[in-house]
Amino acid sequence: MNAREQLPFFYTSDAILSHPRFSLARSAYVDALLKLYENDPFLNRLLNEAGRAMTFFMIICLHAAYRENERSTWPTTRLLQDKLSSYGLSSSRRVNDLVGRLAATGYIETLISPEDKRARILRPTGKMLGHDLDWLEAHYQSLNALFPEPGYGPPLQRDVTFQKKQRIASVEMFAYSAQFLAQNPDALFFVQREAGMPIVIKLVQLSITNSFIVKNVSFADLGHRFGVSRTHVRNLLREAQSMGLTEINGREIVLTPRLMAAFDRFVADGMAGLDLLFRFATANSAEAIAIKAAR
Give pLDDT tens digits for 161-194: 999 999 999 987 877 777 888 899 999 999 989 8
| pLDDT, position 290 | 39
Q: pLDDT over 90 for what percent of the chain?
A: 67
Q: In this structure, which amino acid lies at residue 207?
A: S
| pLDDT, position 284 | 60
DSSP character for 108? E
pLDDT in tens, 226-279: 989 999 999 999 999 999 999 999 999 999 999 999 999 999 999 999 999 999
Asked if residues 58 and 80 have their Cβ atoms less than 8 Å apart, the reply is yes
The residue-averaged pLDDT of 54-75 equals 92
Asked if residues 184 and 265 have their Cβ atoms less than 8 Å apart, the reply is yes
| pLDDT, position 288 | 46
Q: Give dist(CA 269, CA 123) in Å, integer.
A: 29
| pLDDT, position 287 | 43
| pLDDT averaged over every residue in the chain | 88
- Output the pTM of the full model: 0.88
Q: Give dist(CA 19, CA 80) in Å, integer.
A: 37
